């Protein structure tokens, strides 16, 4: 059994009607509870719960400080390659998008690492387009020899792999795995992932489980909000996280809330997810999973990220470059997506300190 079995049970529920049926009394009852069930989590995502955001926020803040303290973990993404074999409607790395592709050499990885390490960052996440040829296991293993000199925790966000491949990478120093399902609606999923191995919904859905079985210390999942009804997407994301946490007790399960904003390109989000909606989604998951890491993306503006800080967020990136080679060669321009918050690590650290948070640059040691 995998999460897919659970997914099949819930995917065709009449979500709209069920969310509308939630009453204020239901919300108040949930807010009085200490441990929340899946049904309680559903209640917190309803329109009725929108009138209780302040109470939810107070509770979320209290729980987060209790479990994580007044700290915020900082990390940076490092893009290794933008070669990709998929055609996806919303992504600028899409195969049908014409631009000179590039993969970092070992010397270039060393240069990028140096720049990142000089900012004081010890935790990174390696990213690439999805290409087994370019971001191959051998290439990653080779890269790790360089990266381990600079960093104490290294995660990946690349094409989904088989369990033994994850095992191989874990052995060589990868300890975390991020894989976003993008959308938990199979029909929309097939529509936006036009061509390539990413079209396989189920293989992607079961990816975090393969990673956990291979020994990964942390998993990070998420839906690209804006692709379908955000309440339903958030609900299934929460079920997925909870399923993973229960099945792999020793693994740290985190959730991200990447949000697709209306933008100049040809693909537009199907649903407009407002700031208020995103806040509700974040608060609901914090109350449902009090110990989960919550990550907030640089896709969001500095003002909004600041406002979200006390609501349950535990991890953030700073000075992110979403360009291959972007740290040591700031002139390169083909980014995976536009970032809204381009403040430096120093600026983010100062911001956190001014808000009473200790920036944590190191929270694990590769041993």
Residue ranges in contact with other proteins by CB under 8 A: 65-71, 120, 122, 152, 217, 245-246, 249-253, 291, 353, 356-358, 360-365, 367
CB of 127 to other proteins, least distance (A): 24
- Is the Cβ–Cβ distance between 51 and 23 less than 8 Å? no
Residue 12 vs 250, nearer CB to other proteins? 250
Q: Write the secondary structure of 133-195 as one string of H (helix), E (strand) and C (coil).
A: CCCCHHHHHHHHHHHCCCCCEEEEECCCCCHHHHHHHHHCCEEEEECCCECCCHHHHHHHEEE
Residue 229 vs 252, nearer CB to other proteins? 252
Rg (alpha carbons) of the chain, rounded to whole number: 20
Residue 292 vs 322, nearer CB to other proteins? 292
Residue 292 vs 317, nearer CB to other proteins? 292
CB of 152 to other proteins, least distance (A): 8
CB of 337 to other proteins, least distance (A): 30
Q: In degrees, to the nearest 5, what angle opens at C-alpha 339 toward C-alphas 337 and 341?
A: 170
Residue 188 vs 366, nearer CB to other proteins? 366
How far is it, in rounded angstroms, from Cα 185 to Cα 183? 5
Collapsed DSSP state (helix, strand, coil) of residue 291: coil
CB of 327 to other proteins, least distance (A): 20
How far is it, in rounded angstroms, from Cα 20 to Cα 16? 6
CB of 225 to other proteins, least distance (A): 25
DSSP state of 215: T
Residue 65 vs 137, nearer CB to other proteins? 65
How far is it, in rounded angstroms, from Cα 280 to Cα 231? 9
CB of 155 to other proteins, least distance (A): 15
Of 196, 120, 186, 116, nearest to 160 by C-alpha is 196
Residues 6+ apart with CB under 8 A from 295: 220, 222, 254, 255, 256, 257, 313, 314, 315, 316, 317
Collapsed DSSP state (helix, strand, coil) of residue 294: strand
CB of 308 to other proteins, least distance (A): 18
Residue 16 vs 67, nearer CB to other proteins? 67
Write the DSSP assignment of 71-111 as a string of letters.
EEEEEEEEEEE-----EETT-TT-TTS-S---B--HHHHHH
Q: In degrees, to the nearest 5, what angle opens at C-alpha 344 toward C-alphas 181 and 317?
A: 20
CB of 357 to other proteins, least distance (A): 6
């Amino acid at each position: 059994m995998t999460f897919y079995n659970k997914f099949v049970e819930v995917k065709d529920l009449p979500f709209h009607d069920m969310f509308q049926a939630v009453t204020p009394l239901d919300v108040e009852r949930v807010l009085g509870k200490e441990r929340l069930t899946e049904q309680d989590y559903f209640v917190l995502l309803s329109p009725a719960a929108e009138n209780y955001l302040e109470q939810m926020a107070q509770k979320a803040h209290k729980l987060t400080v209790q479990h994580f303290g007044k700290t915020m973990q900082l990390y940076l993404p490092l893009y290794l390659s933008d070669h990709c074999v998929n055609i996806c409607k919303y992504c600028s790395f899409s195969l049908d998008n014409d631009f000179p592709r590039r993969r970092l050499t070992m010397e270039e990885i060393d240069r990028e690492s140096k720049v990142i390490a000089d900012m004081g960052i010890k935790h990174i996440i390696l990213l690439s387009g999805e290409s087994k040829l370019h971001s191959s296991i051998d290439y990653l293993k080779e890269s790790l020899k360089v990266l381990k000199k600079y960093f104490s925790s290294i995660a990946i966000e690349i094409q989904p792999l088989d369990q033994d491949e994850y095992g191989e990478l874990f052995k060589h120093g990868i300890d975390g795995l991020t894989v976003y399902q993008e959308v938990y609606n199979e029909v929309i999923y097939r529509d936006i992932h036009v061509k390539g191995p990413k079209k396989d919904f189920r293989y992607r859905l079961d990816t975090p489980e393969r990673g956990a079985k291979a020994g990964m210390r942390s998993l990070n999942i998420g839906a690209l909000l804006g692709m379908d009804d955000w309440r339903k997407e958030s609900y299934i994301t929460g079920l997925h996280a909870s399923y993973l946490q229960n099945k792999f007790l020793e693994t740290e399960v985190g959730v991200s809330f990447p949000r697709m904003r209306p933008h100049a390109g040809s693909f537009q989000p199907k649903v407009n997810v407002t700031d208020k909606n995103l806040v509700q989604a974040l608060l609901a998951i914090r109350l449902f999973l009090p110990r989960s890491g919550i990550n907030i993306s640089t896709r969001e503006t500095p003002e909004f990220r600041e406002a979200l800080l006390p609501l349950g967020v535990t991890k953030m990136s700073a000075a992110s470059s979403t360009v291959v080679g972007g740290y040591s060669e700031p002139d390169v321009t083909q980014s995976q997506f536009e970032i809204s918050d381009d403040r430096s690590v120093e600026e983010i650290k100062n911001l956190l300190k001014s808000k009473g948070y200790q920036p944590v640059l190191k929270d694990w040691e590769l041993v």
